[in-house]
A and B are shown apart, each in its own frame.
Chain A
Amino acid sequence: MDPTALLLSRLQFAFTISFHIIFPAFTIGLAAWLTVLEAMHQYTGRPVYRTLFEFWLKIFGVAFGMGVVSGVVMAFQFGTNWSVLSRMSGPIQGPLLSYETFTAFMLEAGFFGILIFGRPRVPPWFYLFSTAMVALGTTLSAFWIMVNNSWMQVPTGYVLENGQFVPNDWAQIIFNRVVWVRFPHMLLASYLTGAFCVAATGAWYLLRRTYRAEAHVMLRMGLALAAVLLPVQLFIGHLVGDYVHDYQPAKFAAIEARWHDEQPASEVLIAIPDSATESNRYAISIPVLGSIIGSMSLTSKEVGLTSFAPQDRPPVAIPFFAFRIMVGCGFVMLGLAWFGSWLGLKHRLERSRLLLWGIFLSFPLPWIAILTGWYTAEVGRQPWTVYGVLRTANAVTPFLTASAALTSLILFVAVYAFIFSFGTYYIYRLLRAGPAGLGGKPLHVPVPNRPMSLADKMPAIVEAGE
């Protein structure tokens, strides 16, 4: 095993999966929102819902496309760079990802074409059904991914035989408690991403004094959903913390930057953890709160990092800071959603331009929260790939050379940076142009089999305006 190839493989996995998660995080929420819009349009007949549907469908198309192509990489990267892991855990991870592909990807792929191009070719009920199937597909995909990752975090329901993880209890693997707090946590994070993007777009249009009717619907629906979901999300986040506390004490200690066993334990709010001296610099901490958060007790003993052998400890700085950034984003979003909804109820939202600016600029927060949450989970799991059983250093392809790994990493970074800049630019142009060309009424009927009919009007309008 070449240590450089190992490091490069880890960087490559982190990079490609961080890039990938941006898109599903967005499209899971967006697909659900599109289903709601289409249903409301068919039920109430109000054209604003149809206008919004057509508008967000275009953005969904671009984001979904980028999610699909970056997702294909994930299905093969386990084999190319992590051959020992994929051979050992194939009997468990392979079937889980098979279920993902079989139940989710095919559903998405099959009905996505109908969603984009099929409206003139199918009856309305079938179109609504197709929208719901795409939404269901994205949700199922998230579910299987969370089952798969939760097994790597808390391996269960297996025996080790001939160097392979052989499953002996699938119910335990799929229905254990860890899955059922982590899956809702991820699902709600996706819904919040969708909600904040929709609300931020609405705020943007109000600030620009354009598309007032659509902007109000977007702001109202986005903020209301976020206002309801955020407290639930914070509570589920706490439950996720409980599983880390019970099953991954070293990760928990790293998140808390707790170096030594403490009884009762204090809670470090902010500090600069220093692994050389095994202590924190500039720490601000609150006594006893650490025991309350960890064990709901005033007296409990909480484990510190020095209770683990140095080679079994995760890095501290990344989980520590990433976790705090995630929680911080959560509270800022909570404040915006509650305050915004309250002003909305009093019909004062449109005049509060400062808050509108805040909501508009908050659109990256859910993504930052998702990425930092994942960094907490994945970096905190180190030095293990399968927690407590298989070390990351032993999971990598043994004969992989540093030059091959460097080549692939550079190519991935270059290609992803290229398509990401264009993709975000096209999404920005679509958002900036707004639902124009639809005229507030559902006159937009795509020409049968006209692939780019959804977006071709947009650039023309943007360019005319520039």
Chain B
Amino acid sequence: MVTFWVALLAISILIYLLLDGFDLGVGMLFGLAGSETRREAMLRTVAPVWDGNETWLIVTGVIMWGAFPVVYSMLLSALYIPVLVMLLGLILRGVAFEFRGKASSTRWIWDVSFTAGSFAASFMQGAMVGALVEGLQFSNGEYAGGTFGWLTTFSVLCGIGLCFGYALLGACWLVRKCDGSIREATRRQIPLLAVAVLAFLVVVFTHALIEHLPILRRWIERPYLFLFPLVGAGAAAVLATSILRHDDYWPFHMVSLIFAAAFGTLALSFWPYMIPFVVTIDEAAAPHASLAFMFWGAGLFVFPLMLLYVAVGYRVFRGKTAAAVDHY
């Protein structure tokens, strides 16, 4: 049961990273787009799916609360400010989808809120992961690090890194969904973003290894774990060639694979800890009665259905979207 819910939590986090990652990324690149036509077209690629993408964040939150309540309560209360800023960012960018088209002279407000909200949410998500990796201060199961205990050079670095990562994912999504000038402009951004992301990943993992020697030992003891970084490196190579070949389809999937590899590397480095070196998976797990209740309905039957809705949604809105630009 515990294993099942750890797996489902990991899958949900990964799905969230990839899906909301690209639409947060599009939100950040949106600020760079020069013309109204381009901004419209960029928004159009994510408008039908952003709501579903963001729902995976709630899925992650409630699985954590139901299956690992100790971690939910410890982490959210410790990360009070970053969670707050992330939520406000998500609110400001979320309403922009509906409000922007209804505004006339105030449209710029929603353009700003869309880009700034996307930045704030992405940065804070990265900073929270960074703070978690670096280690938050707990005593007797209670956070003791102060309001700004999460704010360090490393967590800021991770925040910036994730902004680049999401922007890269968003750029690949745009290349896949758009034609014409957006595709050309975005394609030029991809190499820069990709180099920045890979550099950040290397820095982050080196830092994690130096800070936490136990992780280094784990990697030496279990060399098969190197599969994850290797997959990431392979994906980076395919990404490079697919960009050189002006391919629209592969970059998105390769960046997704890099994300998955980085996430796997990170998760396995700390296994079996959920909050590194403070709380293990088994310590955090809810009583069996809770896990079983969630398993026999939500986990076993509804989770596959949720994947089905996502698949249906993406299938209905598949293909390039920019062709519609000339229709109005």
Mark A residues whose CB is within 8 Å of B.
Answer: 61-62, 65-66, 68-73, 75-76, 78-81, 83-84, 86-87, 89-103, 105-114, 116-118, 121-122, 161, 164, 166-168, 170, 397-401, 403-404, 407-408, 411-412, 415, 419, 422-423, 426, 429-430, 447-456, 458-459, 463
Interface string of B283-316 (1 = CB under 8 A from A): 0001101100110011000110110011011001
B29 CB within 8 Å of chain A: no
Give Cα A397 to B143, complex, Å. Answer: 10
Instruction: Tell me whether B286 and A94 are in contact (CB under 8 A).
Output: yes
| A122 CA to B80 CA, complexed, in Å | 43
A101:B317 contact, CB within 8 angstroms: no
Asked if B129 is at the interface of the complex by the 8 Å CB criterion, the answer is no
Given A73-B87, A80-B84, A117-B317, output 6 extra A-B contacts at Cβ < 8 Å: A68-B51, A95-B293, A102-B303, A122-B316, A399-B77, A400-B80
Q: Which residue of B lies closest to A107 (CB)?
A: B309
Q: Is B77 in contact with A463, judged by CB distance below 8 angstroms? A: no
6 closest A-B pairs by CB: A90-B69, A452-B101, A79-B76, A94-B66, A110-B309, A451-B47
Contacts of A86 in B (CB 8 A): 65, 69, 72-73, 76
Interface: B95 (CB within 8 A): yes
Nearest-Cβ distance from residue B75 to partner chain A, whole angstroms? 7
Report 19 cross-chain contacts, Cβ distance below 8 Å, ordered by A residue: A72-B54, A76-B83, A79-B73, A83-B74, A86-B73, A94-B66, A94-B286, A95-B286, A106-B306, A111-B309, A164-B287, A397-B80, A407-B84, A429-B102, A447-B327, A449-B47, A451-B47, A453-B328, A463-B104
Q: How far is the CB of A397 from chain B (nearest CB, A)?
A: 4
**Contacting residue for A164 out of B69, B75, B103, B298, CB 8 A:** B69
Give chain B nearest CB distance to A356 CB in angstroms: 28
* A78 with B65: CB separation less than 8 A: yes
Question: Is the Cβ of A114 less than 8 Å from the Cβ of B316?
Answer: yes
Q: Which of B51, B74, B305, B312 has the most C-beta atoms of chain A within 10 angstroms of its own C-beta? A: B51
Q: Is B43 an interface residue when CB atoms closer than 8 A count as contact?
A: yes
A401, B147: Cβ atoms closer than 8 Å? yes
Q: Tell me, rounded to whole Å, the shortest Cβ–Cβ distance linking B113 to chain A.
A: 9
Question: Do residues A101 and B76 form an inter-chain contact, with CB atoms below 8 A?
Answer: no
Q: A415–B143 Cα gap in the complex (Å)?
A: 28
Bound: A226/B66 CA distance, A: 38
A83 shortest CB reach to chain B, Å: 4
Contacts of A87 in B (CB 8 A): 69-70, 72-74
Task: Give complex CA distance A97, B290 in Å.
Answer: 12
Give Cα A70–Cα B88 distance, bound, in whole angstroms: 9
Give bound CA distance, A83 to B56, whole Å. 22
B99 at the interface (CB under 8 A from A): yes
Assess whether B309 is in contact with A91, with CB atoms less than 8 Å apart.
no
Contacts of A398 in B (CB 8 A): 142
Contact flag A411-B69 (CB < 8 Å), given A68-B51, A103-B302: no
> B48 to A90, Cβ gap below 8 A?
no
Contact B51 A95 (CB under 8 A): no
Taking a contact as CB atoms closer than 8 A, the residue among B48, B70, B298 that contacts A102 in the complex is B298
CA distance A426 to B169 in the complex (A): 32
Q: Does B135 sit within 8 A of A, measured CB to CB?
A: no
1/0 per residue, CB under 8 A from A, across B157-188: the answer is 00000000000000000000000000000000
In the complex formed, the residue of A with least CB distance to B65 is: A94
Instruction: Assess the A91–B69 pair: CB atoms within 8 A.
Output: yes
- A101→B59 contact, CB < 8 A: yes
Does B202 make an interface contact (CB < 8 A)? no
Chain A: minimal CB distance from B156 (Å)? 19
Instruction: Give the interface of B toward A (CB within 8 A).
Output: 40, 43-45, 47-49, 51-52, 54-55, 57-59, 61-67, 69-70, 72-77, 79-81, 83-84, 87-88, 90-92, 94-95, 97-104, 106, 109, 142-144, 147, 286-287, 289-290, 293-294, 297-298, 302-303, 305-306, 309-310, 312-313, 316-317, 321, 324, 327-328
Nearest A residue to B104 via CB reads A459
A107 to B305, CA, bound (A): 9
Residue of B nearest to A100 (CB): B62
> Which chain B residues border A111 with CB–CB below 8 Å?
309, 313
With a cutoff of 8 Å between Cβ atoms, the chain B residues found around residue A114 in the complex are 48, 313, 316
Contact yes or no, A113 B324, CB < 8 A: no
A89 to chain B, nearest CB (A): 8
- Pair A70/B91 contact, Cβ less than 8 Å: yes
> B290 touching A94 by the CB < 8 A rule?
yes
- Are A408 and B84 interface neighbours, CB within 8 A? yes
**Alpha-carbon distance A98/B217, docked complex (angstroms):** 37
A101 to B306 Cα, complex, angstroms = 10
Query: Could you tell me if A451 and B72 are in contact, using CB atoms closer than 8 angstroms?
Result: no
Q: Nearest-CB distance from A134 to chain B (Å)?
A: 11
- Known contacts being A90-B73, A118-B48, is A422 close to B83, with CB within 8 Å? no
- Hey, which chain B residues are within 8 Å of A449, CB to CB? 44-45, 47-48, 317, 321, 324
Check B99–A451 contact: CB distance below 8 A: no
Query: Residue of B at shortest CB range from A90?
Result: B69
Across the interface, which residues of A come within 8 angstroms of B321, CB to CB? Answer: 448-449
Query: Would B287 and A91 count as touching, CB distance under 8 A?
Result: yes
**Contact, CB under 8 Å: B100 / A452:** yes
Chain B residues closer than 8 Å to A73, beta-carbon distance: 87, 91
Closest to A166 in B: B287
Cβ of A90 and Cβ of B72 under 8 Å apart? yes
Contact assessment for B77 and A415 in the assembled complex, using a CB-CB cutoff below 8 Å: no
B228 to chain A, nearest CB (A): 28
Considering the chains assembled together, what is the distance between the CA atoms of A114 and B21 in angstroms?
A: 21
Bound Cα distance A412, B100 (Å): 21
Alpha-carbon distance A415/B87, docked complex (angstroms): 11
Q: B101 touches which one: A66, A79, A455 (CB < 8 A)? A: A455
Contact in complex: A426, B324 (CB < 8 Å): no
